[in-house]
Amino acid sequence: MRRVPASLADLRPVRDVRGQGHLYAVELAPGLLWPLMQEAEKRDVFFYPFTGAGGHPRSEGAVVAPALTSTAEDIDFLTSALCGAVSARTKPSTAGGRGQPT
């Protein structure tokens, strides 16, 4: 599942990606989690949400946990859906930088 961190690296709302094997947590900018979950549902995928981790400000994000028998195509589908859901909930920045959560 090495593609997940690389695919998300350029998306500004993604604060951190950490994990190993088939299990990854994607920390998101505040306020993006539930819109992301709605967008992911439109893409027929579900990620496990987490909130309240860490100190102040509290972090929130999604855990990507596909089946251990997932194929490379399955992982590509999940990665594409996650990146698409984050991008769909991000508007372009007027300052020429990366986008901000909508």
Residue 94 is classified by DSSP as T
Share of the chain above pLDDT 70, in %: 75
pLDDT at residue number 76? 85
| Domains: count for the chain | 1
Does 99 reside within a domain? Answer: no
Rounded to 5 degrees, φ, ψ at 51 are: -140, 155
> How sure is the predictor about 53, in pLDDT bands with cuts at 50, 70 and 90?
low
The two three-digit tokens of residue 83, written as one number = 């990146």
DSSP code for 58: P
Provide the pLDDT confidence category of residue 38 given band limits of 50, 70 and 90: very high
Round to whole Å and give the CA distance between 38 and 22.
23
pLDDT at 96: 37
Domain boundaries, position 59: 3-91
Q: Is residue 52 part of a domain?
A: yes
Residue 39 lies in a domain: yes
Tokens of 15: 């604060």
Residue type, 8: L
pLDDT at 50 over 60: yes
